[in-house]
A and B are shown apart, each in its own frame.
Chain A
Amino acid sequence: MGKVDLDFKPSVPVFDACITVGRRYDRYIRVDNVADTLATMDRAGVQRALAYTPHALDFDSVEGNSYLMEMIKGQPRLVPQFAVNPSFDDLPLMAKSMKQHGVRSLRIAPKFQRYPFREWVLGPFFDWLEANRTPVWVAAEEIDPSEFHATVSGRPGLRFVMSQVHFMHETWAVPLLMSLPNVSIEVSRMLQPNSFNKLIDAIGAERVMFGSRFPDSAMAPQLYYLHRSGLSQSQLQAVCAGNLGRLLGKG
């Protein structure tokens, strides 16, 4: 008989490194408001979550980020992440808004927003990030691996988090992480057999962060998988919350 836990809750504090809030312009999603998001976190045993709104990437960072702040206002468990389009946005204005709202991380979408991920496009943005010690999230599907590798290897002072890494990306994502010590991974789509063990064997636990990409995936299942992967308690703590807390705390 199989041994399963029908009422699973995580055994460590959890800080989800990837959720979204807000309706989408192109499709219906089952959870699009803050109240239901918090209820899901309660059920899943997740204390805090780093949240962005797709509106800020699909349409516009200024309006999307303010939409985000309006939705999560007064909810300390939802930690805002702003989206930025470095080829268009006014960076000083962005900095001001981040400071005002205590925002400690950004998310970019180079392929969708159609700018080359290259120093000649992003140089000033990178200087600004470095000065502000701001980590940047980017979904794996938004990355051209060679371009990303070439550019990031020239910027060891920056911190990147590769997010939503699907098994389609595994062939290049793990070598990329091994080669670039300033890149971390958010594991919402790492569903392959033994993926956490293989990942931690390859790069250690310090750069691995739990995330769910809720509501495009359910929030709790990946925590169940993590808890059944034979990690030490300290590794589990680091992956579920510690690494993300440390990354956002820098600065």
Chain B
Amino acid sequence: MKTPVVDFHAHVGRWGSFGMADDLETYLRVMDAAGVDISCINCIFYGEAHRNLDSVMPFVKKHPDRFVPVAYVTPRYLQDAIPELERAFGKLGARFLKLYPTYLGKPIDDPSYFPIFEWANDHGIVIMSHSSFFFEGDTLTMPRLFPALAKRFNKVRWVLGHSGNNMNGQAQAVAAARECDNIYLETCTSMAEAGTIEFLVNGAGEDRVLYGSDMPLLDARNQVGRIVTADISDEAKKKVLGLNAIKLLGLKNKS
């Protein structure tokens, strides 16, 4: 069955400490085998904001039809952040912004993030943040922090990477999406309890769930497998796999 497949959550940058390489050839081979058309890729490892997108761009330049660049900044070096956003969205064609409060060590609603949120709101961009609530105490990116942000910065479309990660977090993520129509949920996780995709789609609605893989840490074939084998309608599968992302990011639908 042919249908557009957009991977909303993918990285570049090696993480050899845990066995992850990022060579282009493997990337494309796995995308092809999984049936993925486009991967939205970010890099979050460097303190110097420009280094992150600079690692992404060679992939995009080589295969502009397969990779979409995603910006990354951190408020730790705020002096770098806004110029980098200007460069990423103004010059390099970034389609959305990734945030990772876990590395900052502060919650997603920490005021140090606000200048970034304000810029994003002014430009009406999409932000994907890591989101997780495994257990009591895992609070930096718990999904229930997002509705207040989504209301305050209501021109931003907020994507919750991992949809809260495990079942505890998924319940909060679905509640957040129900509360705010500018909150979307992304699916990848290495937890992946049975019934996760069904829970997200039935809870948040099939229009607000986005397929993601966490490539090249996790294999896209397994993560696509989670969508296509879920107990949801074919229409919903197609939306989650790619149609929703195309709409959200304003990509061209080649079908």
Binding site for B on A (CB under 8 A): 22-28, 32, 55, 57-63, 67, 85, 87-89, 109, 112-113
Which one of B13, B16, B77, B103 has the greatest number of beta carbons of chain A within 10 Å? B16
| Minimum distance in angstroms from A4 CB to a CB of chain B | 37
B47 touches A85 (CB 8 A): no
- A67 proximity list for chain B (CB < 8 A): 46, 51
Q: How far is the CA of A85 from the CA of B51 in the complex (A)?
A: 23
Residues of B within 8 A of A112 (CB): 17
Contact check, B47 vs A22: say whether CB atoms are below 8 A apart: yes
**Nearest residue in A to B14 (C-beta to C-beta)?**
A60
Count A/B pairs, Cβ under 8 Å: 52
Chain A min CB distance to B156 (Å): 24
Instruction: Write the B33-61 contact mask toward A (1 if CB under 8 angstroms, else 0).
Output: 00000000000111110010000000000
**Is the C-beta of B137 less than 8 angstroms from some C-beta in chain A?**
no
Contact B14 A59 (CB under 8 A): yes
User: In the docked arrangement, what's the CA distance between A60 and B12, Å?
Assistant: 12
A33 closest partner in B (C-beta): B48
Cβ of B15 under 8 Å from chain A = yes
Since A22-B47, A62-B16, A85-B16 are in contact, a sample of 14 more A-B pairs with Cβ atoms closer than 8 Å, ordered by chain A residue number, is A23-B48, A25-B45, A25-B47, A28-B76, A55-B45, A57-B17, A59-B45, A60-B14, A60-B20, A62-B14, A67-B51, A85-B17, A88-B16, A113-B18
Decide if B47 touches A23 in the complex (CB within 8 Å).
yes
Point out the residues of chain B lying under 8 angstroms from A63, CB to CB: 13-14, 45
The docked-state distance in angstroms from the alpha carbon of A109 to that of B18 is 12
**Residue of A23, A24, A57, A62 with highest tally of chain B CB at under 10 A:** A23
- Is there an interface contact between B15 and A26, defined as CB atoms closer than 8 Å? no
Residue B225, interface by CB 8 Å: no
Please report the C-alpha to C-alpha distance between residue A61 and residue B19 in the assembled complex, in whole angstroms: 11
The CB with the most chain A CB atoms within 10 A, among B14, B44, B47, B105, is that of B47
A51–B13 alpha-carbon span in the complex (Å): 22
Q: Are A60 and B48 in contact (CB under 8 A)?
A: no
Listed A/B pairs (27) with beta-carbon separation below 8 Å: A22-B47, A23-B46, A23-B47, A24-B47, A25-B45, A25-B46, A27-B105, A28-B76, A55-B45, A59-B16, A59-B17, A60-B14, A60-B15, A60-B16, A61-B16, A62-B14, A62-B16, A63-B13, A85-B16, A85-B17, A87-B19, A88-B16, A88-B17, A89-B16, A109-B17, A112-B17, A113-B18
Residues of A within 8 A of B14 (CB): 59-60, 62-63
Smallest CB gap from B48: residue in A: A23
* Given A55-B45, A59-B45: A26 touches B17 (CB 8 Å cut-off): no
